[in-house]
Amino acid sequence: MSLPTLRRGSKGPYVFTLKRILSGLGYYRGPIDENFDERTEKAVISFQRDMGIAVDGIVGRETWTTLFAQEEVLKKRKLEKYLLAGALAALGGMLLWRSLKI
């Protein structure tokens, strides 16, 4: 799948997707719309700098790849937290049940 190169002034659904991912990763705070503005560019630059990739504020192949990889890491962490919370709740319920049974 070929993704477009995005830069300040770009518009459309890919910009919406970019902003949604950047927001989820904590880099973008603002309206999730289809306009690549100055705030979006600053978020992209911060992301690129933190990831150690070329810093130019332009979302090309390397930035898209890194964005999607980081989004997957975030999803995995959220799933792990969810599973851990479930396991702890089950353990707590089991301990409570044992204490009531005695």
**pLDDT for the residue numbered 83:** 74
Asked if residues 36 and 10 have their Cβ atoms less than 8 Å apart, the reply is yes
* CATH number of the structural domain spanning residue 29: 1.10.101.10
Q: Cα(15)–Cα(20) distance, rounded to whole angstroms?
A: 9
8 domain residue, yes or no: no
Q: What are phi and psi of 59, to 5 degrees?
A: -100, 100
Asked whether residue 91 is domain-assigned, the answer is: no
Both tokens assigned to 53: 């990739």
Question: The dihedral of CA 85, 86, 87, 88: what is its sign?
Answer: positive
Single pTM value for the model:
0.76
Q: Is 7 among the domain residues?
A: no
Tens digit of each residue's pLDDT, the chain (102 residues): 689 999 999 999 999 999 999 999 999 999 999 999 999 999 999 999 999 999 999 999 999 999 999 988 877 776 677 677 777 777 776 666 677 765
Domain-embedded: residue 35? yes
